[in-house]
Structure 1
């Protein structure tokens, strides 16, 4: 393998291995992820309610299949179970632990518990004594209040004064009350968040499970999941993200690296022709090429695999810092992702080299030299047929995207992009010839002589041009779809929420939430005509996707009285006024298969299964979530009684009410919408990360491919100089040829992105109007095209400068 080809393949394989291995780091971290064991460090075992929903869902042709989804709210345990656990041999005591948010007047957030839970970390008194009276509390030393001082704490109502009885040693901010006070503030009689088992020595986990049937017994590192539910909830999402990103990275690597190897093989056609002419067998040619690819691939894949560990760690840190992953989501580093990336990348490279050598090594020795002399633009039948199949598949997927809606349509978008890109890779030379006819005429208007030379050069090397078009189209289609799909959904969500918000003022909290009595206090203010407390949650429900059932976690809101007066989710059937008791309203996407009055089975935030009567179907599912529930039903099955915000109709002055509570402020409709926009932009960080990684790799592969293709044209440039072309004319020809080839790829990639985004916009908004920032689109096009043009012109300048006199090397 020539030095330039070796370098190009090495660079592409190294980055491919790095990208695949980084996805492996995320997958391994998710597979091993447990929240750190802190507050339950002294417990031998922790008993909790089931934190996932499991059911059988009907599948087309396969019968029912078991599916599970994690819960976002804590499933509580009955206190009566503690007595049975205490009877298990080896158990010393069982602590019924309760947790609830506490907010100080200073704005400091902490978690409230009963004093008996202090032994679980353990927290140790560093000053004072335990709480003995209902108005006493023990705080963390970091609270900055000395024993005997008074602090105002807000739990379920307005802030109340508590005397600080003592202080505990360093640890997460906590507030410990007497057991009776903690139970009253917790507000769930006869229940606890967890039952922590204390044992002097070992205790039989199976015996604990028999004493707590239907509950979950966690030991060892799994105890951390009982402390922080967010880690367990995020684990499945990260597994799906890592698998999706890894699959996309692998497919991208196959297209980019494959195109580069195919190009390097094609440029060495004369060499292989000579080998066939002197008696080399087809398998000898193939094995030589595979050995050369292996020699470049082994160090490249190894280097990329090692680098993938650092890249994966950086991705994890960035996602934690941006709040995409919870702080307790740990990073797992082992050699497995690096070894997997090494093996996968090397296997892809060798198989690609084998496929690339098949046609050239099969021809007869007499025909070999003729094949190498002129590059044929005629595509094999299998390639034309395969390209047509993927093109037809893409068009059929486009039809599904436009005619369906919701998650089904969004899921089909990925298949649409993939099908069209594979079709482009297979039919690239044909696309290059078509682009040459259109853009070739345009460049001839700019410069008749250089333009004609550029058009002839690109048409006579259609296979080479096709290898260049694919990564250009891939970079623009992938990056454009990822960037503007997120902005389209975010814009639609913001617009739907704004259009459906009929409130004049909104109460929000900078702390854990609003006490329930805040809504009633607002209702008593003169001039207020409607008040709706809103509490967000997540429910689990079986929905229909592609004709099959799928268990999904859906965004939901519990809304109080006057909902029809303060919000307009745009009902298309039924009435929002009927949302009370055991009823539910669903978005158009979630309501597929249900009619008004139907019984809708679903699981609430804590895993309680209910059947609710459908009273309304609405259109603005992005702005209001897929499920609307009565407020009291959601509050009874949530971790806290706090509301997320309160919608208010009326121009009354709400500042006195807000001042009565800690961290509460009043927003108008515009400010509330701005807060929602910031939250959505934060959620789009993962899309930006994916675009930066994969699109960056595609551009690196594009630059490498173009640099290799240009370097292989040394003889062509020398011949042009021999027939009288000046150095400036050759460079001008190359610039115009870049316009033809890169322009064709850019047009194809833009068309794929436009078709995909139009289908997505139609699915989520009903209108074929994607939200794309023109400046970002222009920057994307300029970045890809500029990188490609530089990869053509810079090597050519170097070669022409070295050979000042025209000669054939």
Structure 2
């Protein structure tokens, strides 16, 4: 009997199957993104001929470094003496501007490093003098590289154009004669065991007081890697310098602490953007998996609740004829187990495709390299299957518990007419979530900074879920409020639509819940991004006193551009800006933490106004830092305080705070001396140069002297940055939005498909098909209004507090067009999901009657 009963509810099981299938695809996609962050990347090119590459650490306390950490060049001599090593080549890299018909941004290296790659001379000879270079064949013939003469061309495919200098000239241009980016190891003839050779190198470096860790195919530490014994380090190697001492630019940030890379991990050493992309994907995938599981659990439980309501009469009859509660619970659990296993397996395939498509879209926007390879293995697919089973079992337990709590006789009555009440447990849970979300949303009033903003946004998500839990009474209240409008607009059909909604508030709440999630989640996530972007644009517009901004190619501007601008007629003020990311050490809950901040380096503030609130920027120099209000409140510091900083390449330093400023969104939370920032970035170049120019001054000739330099006004730059920020925030959310959209359609179709008896009764009572569809249009309007109102209401307080925490103003910014797209798209989807199945069901009932 139970087997027949289960088979009779194919529609309900189909709805649960669709919800779980979409959930499996979404969890798989997030898992693949996370796995790609851990193991994906780009195959080595210039290091393809070196089976082993030694480089500095790529993270500090688990935080990926935004800049490359250089290592001592002297280690190459020690490595070269290891048995089995034919040569150890120190490699350095620096930007090179190539001019000609088209500007080309290239990387410069020493000629010795050409041996690390499968590159060979196609024509000419190696560079032999400081003024000679060899170029890759990807650089157009006739291109000019300053005063250097091209004496040879190498052939072989490279990801970026390459220019080879003599080793001495490369070391001079690199600017740090005692350091190198990496050391490539060439094996002696006959040596084929790369792992054994890597072990010998580790032992040799350990003997030279160099703690090492071998990293293999994925570039992350593997279970088999070996950590060499660490000898005692001197304070200059691993500890922060003494009070306000500025570290030397030619000092390795981690001393002799190096990493040994083999296999595919060499690509991450060669390409800095790959390492940054992997860090971003790890953070993105990890955070979105939590959101995904939370939202999917709510959706799957709601869908299962709708399906259970469809067969409440049958469940009650089973109990009346003797089915024990345990049998009913087992029935729900078994059918959801079968559905979740099939849905979990089938959903994994589109999930992998979705992740690949998202990575391609992110590559198009520049968030990850265009040639970044997906590499995740089977773990995300297995994890998605397990998560689907667990979600399905939780939904089955929740729904069966509610169904078994109702006496069979009452359940028979409620199968035809819902009881308006709601269980005390659900009411208590919803109220608790609402109170917790409200409390979290209000935290920026007392806790400014990144923590307050993050907690306010999380509080908004809790408030949205609380409205879903408290859906039935809220739907009834909203329906009563909108009932007069429906009656005026649709007449008797509007009255009937309102009456149906009041009588079936639980069913309607389950159908509206995904729409509330869609609107609320989109507004919270995108509204936070647009508020921050608008605040940054406003601060840049107010704070930049320049009339023009100079920008360069992918590697930025040569410092010579700023020097040239300072002597150009008509230029009144020049402020070059070097940008990076830095970490500040703080203590939270008795635990040391590193907080990630945007940082800028300036040597003058004549062309910008940071909005100083305490202290003075006149004291900005050696051993000092200026900090934003948001960061100062997060760290609990003020002028005169000392903070511990890790620069982008991991260099530690202590700095005294000399000023606190309010325009941190537009200019970064840390402002350091420019020379310090330049010395510890991979390019050693400015991000932009701000100019204040007298009217009539001509900059064209100066700009033409520097290849790749472009001019623009600050408003255009700010608008471009705002759009790029919005796009970067929206793309990763597309997977979640798509899942919620599928859930909206699935829930609404399921809620309409069970109303065949109601439609048939209306037709037999004399109502025309047109009248029934008019009633459904009134319901579609009601559903859209309820979802829009509740979804928007849940975000007002959190977004206001997010805005207050970010900008000091409680007025968030959500572009009207964005709000209309979110609300209009969700409402249109809801209307289609209601009206199309309603017409199909109505046609079927018309034929049967």
Per the TM superposition, whether the score is higher than 0.5 is: yes
Instruction: State the TM-score, normalized to the length of structure 2.
Output: 0.88
Match of 1:25 in 2: 32
* Structure 1 position 569, deviation (Å): 0.9
Match of 1:195 in 2: 183
Q: Which is further off, 114-123 or 734-743?
A: 734-743
SS at structure 1 position matched to 2:123:
strand
Distance 1:575 1:340, change over 3 A: same
Match of 1:162 in 2: 149
- Unpaired segments of 5 or more residues in structure 1? 55-67, 154-158
Distance 1:666 1:547, change over 3 A: farther
Match of 2:174 in 1: 186
Distance of 2:519 and 2:99 partners within structure 1? 52
Distance of 1:546 and 1:759 partners within structure 2? 24
* Structure 1 position 658, deviation (Å): 1.8
Match of 1:726 in 2: 768
2:64 paired with 1:70: yes
CA contact (8 A) 1:48 1:195 kept: yes
Match of 2:233 in 1: none
Distance 1:92 1:759, change over 3 A: same
Distance of 2:554 and 2:313 partners within structure 1? 72
CA contact (8 A) 2:616 2:659 kept: yes
Distance of 2:732 and 2:132 partners within structure 1? 51
CA contact (8 A) 1:138 1:168 kept: no
CA contact (8 A) 2:277 2:367 kept: no
Q: Which is further off, 277-286 or 729-738?
A: 729-738
SS at structure 1 position matched to 2:614:
strand
SS at structure 2 position matched to 1:589:
helix
SS at structure 1 position matched to 2:144:
strand
CA contact (8 A) 1:85 1:212 kept: no
* Structure 1 position 297, deviation (Å): 2.9
Q: Which is further off, 629-638 or 163-172?
A: 163-172
SS at structure 2 position matched to 1:569:
coil
Match of 1:441 in 2: 484
**Pick from 790, 796, 809: which aligns with 2:838?**
796
* Structure 1 position 341, deviation (Å): 1.4
CA contact (8 A) 2:106 2:163 kept: yes
**Pick from 43, 49, 56: which aligns with 1:49?**
56
SS at structure 1 position matched to 2:510:
helix
Match of 1:152 in 2: 144
* Structure 1 position 472, deviation (Å): 1.7
2:493 paired with 1:450: yes
Q: Which is further off, 45-54 or 253-262?
A: 45-54
**Pick from 683, 700, 714: which aligns with 1:640?**
683
SS at structure 2 position matched to 1:502:
coil
* Structure 1 position 190, deviation (Å): 2.1
Q: Residues 7-39 of structure 1, C-alpha deviation per residue, up to 9 Å, x if partnerless?
A: 222222211111111111111111213442221
SS at structure 1 position matched to 2:846:
coil
Distance 1:725 1:87, change over 3 A: same
SS at structure 1 position matched to 2:810:
coil
SS at structure 1 position matched to 2:419:
coil
**Pick from 314, 334, 356: which aligns with 2:377?**
334
CA contact (8 A) 1:95 1:196 kept: yes
Distance 1:180 1:791, change over 3 A: closer
Match of 2:664 in 1: 621
* Structure 1 position 434, deviation (Å): 0.7
Distance of 1:389 and 1:606 partners within structure 2? 45
Distance 1:207 1:32, change over 3 A: same
Match of 2:749 in 1: 707
Distance of 1:15 and 1:334 partners within structure 2? 20
Distance 1:803 1:49, change over 3 A: closer
Distance of 1:498 and 1:366 partners within structure 2? 69
Distance of 1:359 and 1:514 partners within structure 2? 65
2:764 paired with 1:757: no
Aligned residues: 780
CA contact (8 A) 2:94 2:174 kept: yes
**Pick from 767, 781, 786: which aligns with 1:744?**
786
CA contact (8 A) 2:440 2:455 kept: yes
Match of 1:60 in 2: none
**Pick from 4, 14, 17: which aligns with 1:10?**
17
Match of 2:736 in 1: 694
CA contact (8 A) 1:477 1:753 kept: yes
* Structure 1 position 181, deviation (Å): 1.7
Q: Which is further off, 484-493 or 198-207?
A: 198-207
Q: Residues 453-510 of structure 1, C-alpha deviation per residue, up to 9 Å, x if partnerless?
A: 2222111112112212311211110122222222221111111111110012322223
CA contact (8 A) 1:512 1:642 kept: yes
Q: How does 1:199-238 map to 2 (within 5 A)?
A: 199-200=187-188, 201=191, 202=193, 203=197, 204-210=200-206, 211=208, 213=210, 214-221=256-263, 222-238=265-281
Distance 1:712 1:552, change over 3 A: same
Q: Which is further off, 248-257 or 353-362?
A: 353-362
Distance of 1:348 and 1:90 partners within structure 2? 54
**Pick from 129, 152, 159: which aligns with 2:125?**
129
* Structure 1 position 400, deviation (Å): 0.6
Distance 1:628 1:790, change over 3 A: same
Match of 2:230 in 1: none
CA contact (8 A) 1:69 1:552 kept: no
Distance of 2:607 and 2:505 partners within structure 1? 62
Distance of 1:424 and 1:3 partners within structure 2? 30
Distance of 1:428 and 1:771 partners within structure 2? 28
**Pick from 93, 106, 116: which aligns with 1:99?**
93
Distance of 2:512 and 2:586 partners within structure 1? 40
CA contact (8 A) 1:5 1:708 kept: yes
Distance of 2:362 and 2:836 partners within structure 1? 37
* Structure 1 position 168, deviation (Å): 4.2
Instruction: State the TM-score, normalized to the length of structure 1.
Output: 0.92
CA contact (8 A) 2:760 2:846 kept: no
CA contact (8 A) 1:31 1:235 kept: yes
CA contact (8 A) 1:34 1:330 kept: yes
* Structure 1 position 571, deviation (Å): 0.5
Distance 1:77 1:749, change over 3 A: same
Match of 1:57 in 2: none
Q: Which is further off, 205-214 or 385-394?
A: 205-214
CA contact (8 A) 1:209 1:217 kept: no
Match of 2:814 in 1: 772
Q: Which is further off, 235-244 or 169-178?
A: 169-178
Structure 1's consecutive aligned runs of 4 or more residues displaced over 6 angstroms after TM superposition are 544-548
CA contact (8 A) 1:402 1:759 kept: yes
Q: How does 1:47-446 map to 2 (within 5 A)?
A: 47-54=54-61, 68-106=62-100, 107-145=103-141, 152-153=144-145, 159-171=146-158, 172-200=160-188, 201=191, 202=193, 203=197, 204-210=200-206, 211=208, 213=210, 214-221=256-263, 222-327=265-370, 329-446=372-489
Distance 1:71 1:742, change over 3 A: same
CA contact (8 A) 1:429 1:463 kept: yes
Q: Residues 289-348 of structure 1, C-alpha deviation per residue, up to 9 Å, x if partnerless?
A: 333333433322221112211111212222223211134532115333222212211321
Q: Residues 510-562 of structure 1, C-alpha deviation per residue, up to 9 Å, x if partnerless?
A: 3523222222222222333322221111111125779976312211111013x
Distance 1:151 1:497, change over 3 A: same
* Structure 1 position 638, deviation (Å): 2.1
Distance 1:292 1:190, change over 3 A: closer
**Pick from 624, 631, 652: which aligns with 1:583?**
624
SS at structure 2 position matched to 1:209:
helix
Distance 1:599 1:279, change over 3 A: same
SS at structure 1 position matched to 2:792:
helix
Distance of 1:99 and 1:334 partners within structure 2? 33
* Structure 1 position 805, deviation (Å): 7.9
SS at structure 1 position matched to 2:520:
helix
Distance of 1:741 and 1:679 partners within structure 2? 37
2:24 paired with 1:36: no
SS at structure 2 position matched to 1:152:
coil
Distance of 2:107 and 2:407 partners within structure 1? 79
